[in-house]
A and B are shown apart, each in its own frame.
Chain A
C-alpha cells in the first residue's frame, strides 16, 4: 500500500509540477540525435534530438489526465447504467442490460482502433473512444451488486419511510458499493494508461502531442531498438508500468481493507506476531504457562 501510494503521489507530482520543472521544450531538438543519458540530458535525447526527461515530464501530465478522465467517465456511466437497471427493473432493466451486453460483446480493441482512426486525432478523441468502449463491464458489475443489495431489508425500510428513489439509490445503496466502485475505478485507470499508450503507439493519437504513448511511437518510428537507444522507450515504458503497478498495489490494499476475510487473516497474523504471509489460515492456540 505504502509503496503504491508513494509512487502514485510522485507520478502525480510529476504531472502537476513537471512541465515548469522540465529543463527543455519537449518538442524542440536541444541536443544530438539519440544521445545517451548524461549530465546535460539526464534521460538522454530522442532520434530528433529532443530531451527525454522533458518529454517524460510533459507526457506524464497528459497520460495521467487521459487515464483518470477515462476512469472517471467510465465509472460514472457504469454506475448510472448499472444502478438504474438494477433499481428500476422491468423494461428499463431489459433495455439497459441489452445495451450493456451489446457493448460487452463488441470486440474492444478493433473497435477502439477503428473509431480512433476515423475521428480527429487528439486526447479528447482518445478519452471519448476509451470511455465509449470501457463502461460495459462496470455496468454489469454494479448492476449485479445493486441487485443483491436491493433485496436487503434496509432498502425496504428506506422505501417504507418514504425516501425518494434517487435518495435510496444515492444515500442508502451507493455507500455500500464504494469498495467495488473504487476497485473498478483503479482498474480503469490501469486499463486506460495502457490503452492510451497502445493507441498512440499505433499512431492513432495526435503524434504532435507529447505523451508517453507518442514517445513510444516516435521511438519505434526512429528504430530506437536497432539504434540501441533504449532510453527513448524504456523511460516512457517505465512510467506506464509504474503507474499500473502502483495502482495495482493500491487496489490490492483496498481489497485487503474491505474484504473481511483478508482483514481477519491480517489481524490474526498481527495478533500472533507472524511476519510471513501464509496461504493457510492458522488457528491460535492459547497454552497454559
Chain B
C-alpha cells in the first residue's frame, strides 16, 4: 500500500466547553473513500474542517500530501451569488499553483469533467439546480488537482434522484483519477454504496472503523448497531432499553445510552484496539463490551 494521503494523529478540538473532536486518529490511502458517519454534533464536520486546514485543532497533528480540498454541504451557500461560475473556477485554477497555459480552457475542461459544459461559464449560481451547483463545487475542488477531497454531506441537500449522480461522480474520481475522499455523512446507505471504509463517530470520538461491507454487515460497537437499526427496513430494534450506567467525565460518552454498558464504561474510555474476536486487518473498535447482544 502506498503512503497515506492524510494522516491525522490524536486530534482534539474544543469550542469553549464543547468537546467537538476527541482523540481522533485517522489515515486515508490514495484512491480510498473513507466515510465518516455519525449523528449531528458528533464532530464529523469539525474533523473534516481540521483535515483541510479550515479549523485549527486544539491538539494533535495532520499530515496531508498536497493541498486537500472540500466539497460543502450547503449547495446554496457554497457558491458566491455575486459571481458567475467562471469566476469561481478561474480563481480556483489560478490559485492552485499549477502551471496552466490557458485558464479559460482549463475551466471548460473542469466543467466537462463533472458533466457540465461551457454554457455554464457565464451562469450565476442562482440559475443552477442543486445538483448542478454541487457539480460546480466538485469542479472547483478538482481545480488544484488534489489528492484528497473532503466531501461534507455533499448530497444531503439534494433530491434523491440527483444524489446517485453525485455519488457516482465521486466514485469516478476515485476510480479514474485516484482521488481519495473523506466522505462525511449521516446516511449509512450512501456510505455503503460509496465508501471502502467507514469510521463511526460519536460525541467527538471515533468509536469504530472497518471496511464498509464488514462494518455494515457485522457492527461491533453498540452505537453502530443502533445507528444501523435506525435505517428504515432494518430488522434490528431501533430503540432498545437505555442503559443504567452513569457516564463519568472520563468514561465512554455513549455509556448512558448504551443498553449493554458495564460499570467500567462509565469510568474509562477504552483505547483503540483491534477486534478481540475475529480480528481483521484495518478494523478497530473503542468499546468495553465488543459485540455484546443488544
The answer to whether B91 touches A161 (Cβ under 8 A) is yes
| With A161-B140, A162-B67 as contacts: A154 and B54 at CB distance below 8 Å | no
Chain A residues lying within 8 Å of B73, measured Cβ to Cβ, are: 153
Number of residues on chain B facing chain A (CB within 8 A):
27
Q: Which of A159, A162, A172, A175 contacts B54 (CB 8 A)?
A: A159
Q: In angstroms, how far is the closest chain A Cβ from the Cβ of B126?
A: 10
The reply on A5 being an interface residue by CB < 8 A is no
- Which residue, A158, A159, A161, A172, has most C-beta atoms of chain B within 10 A? A161
Chain A residues lying within 8 Å of B82, measured Cβ to Cβ, are: 172, 175-176
The answer to whether A153 touches B72 (Cβ under 8 A) is yes
Query: In the complex, A52 Cα to B286 Cα: how many Å?
Result: 89
Number of residues on chain A facing chain B (CB within 8 A):
14
CB nearest to B92 among chain A residues = A161
The answer to whether A163 touches B78 (Cβ under 8 A) is no
Q: In angstroms, how far is the closest chain B Cβ from the Cβ of A258?
A: 12
The reply on B70 being an interface residue by CB < 8 A is yes
Q: In angstroms, how far is the closest chain B Cβ from the Cβ of A165?
A: 13
Chain B residues lying within 8 Å of A160, measured Cβ to Cβ, are: 52-54, 69-70
The reply on B95 being an interface residue by CB < 8 A is yes
Q: In angstroms, how far is the closest chain A Cβ from the Cβ of B123?
A: 15
Q: Per DSSP, are chain B's interface residues mostly helix, strand or loop, or mixed?
A: loop
Chain A residues lying within 8 Å of B80, measured Cβ to Cβ, are: 154, 158, 172, 175-176
The reply on B77 being an interface residue by CB < 8 A is yes
The answer to whether B78 touches A154 (Cβ under 8 A) is yes
Q: In angstroms, how far is the closest chain B Cβ from the Cβ of A241?
A: 36
Which residues 235-249 of A sit at the B interface, judged by CB distance below 8 A?
none
Q: Which of A153, A159, A161 contacts B78 (CB 8 A)?
A: A153
Q: In angstroms, how far is the closest chain B Cβ from the Cβ of A157?
A: 6
Chain B residues lying within 8 Å of A153, measured Cβ to Cβ, are: 72-74, 77-78
Q: Which of A154, A162, A163 contacts B79 (CB 8 A)?
A: A154
| With A161-B91, A176-B81, A176-B82 as contacts: A156 and B72 at CB distance below 8 Å | yes
Query: In the complex, A163 Cα to B144 Cα: how many Å?
Result: 13
Chain B residues lying within 8 Å of A161, measured Cβ to Cβ, are: 91-92, 95-96, 140, 143-144
**Interchain residue pairs A-B with the least CB separation, the first 5:** A175-B82, A153-B78, A153-B72, A162-B95, A154-B80
Q: What are 11 A-B pairs at a CB distance below 8 A?
A: A152-B77, A153-B74, A154-B80, A156-B49, A157-B88, A157-B140, A160-B69, A161-B96, A162-B67, A163-B95, A176-B81
B residues touching A (Cβ–Cβ < 8 Å)? 49, 52-54, 67, 69-70, 72-74, 77-83, 88, 91-92, 95-97, 137, 140, 143-144
- Given A153-B73, A158-B91, 7 other A-B contacts at CB below 8 A? A152-B74, A153-B72, A157-B70, A157-B140, A160-B53, A175-B83, A176-B81
